[in-house]
Amino acid sequence: MKTPILGIIGTGMVGTGVARRAVAAGVHVVLSNSRGPRTLAALVAELGPRARAATPAVAAAEADLVLAAVPLTARKRLPIAGLAGKTVIDPMNYAIYPGAEIAELDDNASTSSELVQRDLPGTRVVKAFHNIGPRQLQSLARPAGAEDRTGIPVSGDDPAAKKEVADLLDLLGFDAVDLGSLAESWRSEPNTPLYASAYTGQPPAGLSVPDAVAWFQNAPGTPISAARIAELAAATVRGPAGFRF
């Protein structure tokens, strides 16, 4: 299997966490953000020769598949023309704060990934990397066949695109767990058992939402099997979308 080039648009916690795991696994990454390649010099130096910086348009054009690690509210600012024909990994979650409410998510008429797919015509969107923190991406990676290998859910409408993402996850040290279509991606979104706590356990009581998010992102990981991920997804009952700040 050819090792893919992974384009990463957005270098916050998610984008940087995936980049670190990718280069450690031998994957070349093209990093980009809204501030320009020069702002990524320190990160590229830290990651080493498998990483380089570019603009989002170049990252989209040169990558085999692209991680769009931007806020959901920024999805329409992605380089849509350059992403056409690509598999786009969507790790976005619906964060609810004044001015960012989305009615069709609030009433569960759609999932956030369905919105991303609608707003990125010509792409093949696959939901992944949205429910696991950057520290767990490093600590839970295991070789194929390891008894304590961890599963990560994926959802998408294109089987070939899901296979691309599953192959990438395998390279990174995880088993992909297919949850079905983008319409079913709510099964691993916020307010479900598969969001964050599956990999960490529960945070201390009384934390604010921002503090709880930070705790999840940095907590030591606990392995969870692909079979257990599938069990939790099947038993999940749909509740309110997103998390409120």
- Rounded to whole angstroms, how far apart are CA atoms 117 and 157? 9
Is residue 55 within 8 A of residue 199, CB to CB? The reply is: no
What is the tens place of the pLDDT at every residue in 98-126?
Answer: 888 899 999 999 999 999 999 999 999 99
Phi, then psi, of 235 in degrees rounded to 5: -90, -5
pLDDT for 11 beyond 80: yes
Share of the chain above pLDDT 70, in %: 99
- Write the single-letter amino acid at 150: T
Share of the chain above pLDDT 90, in %: 85
pLDDT at 218: 84
Phi, then psi, of 7 in degrees rounded to 5: -85, 135
What domains are defined for the chain? 5-244 (3.40.50.720)
Query: What's the mean pLDDT in 142-147?
Result: 95
pLDDT at 64: 95
Residue with tokens 């990125």: 120
What is the tens place of the pLDDT at every residue in 156-204?
Answer: 999 999 999 999 999 999 999 999 999 999 999 999 999 999 999 888 8
Confidence of residue 215 (pLDDT cuts 50, 70, 90): confident
What is the tens place of the pLDDT at every residue in 24-36?
Answer: 999 999 999 999 9
pLDDT at 1: 61
Q: Pick from 144, 164, 160, 137: which is nearest to 2 by CA? A: 164
Mean residue pLDDT across the chain: 94
Q: Pick from 63, 47, 85: which is nearest to 7 by CA? A: 63
Angstrom CA distances, 50 to 5, 19, 27, 130, stand at: 10, 10, 7, 24
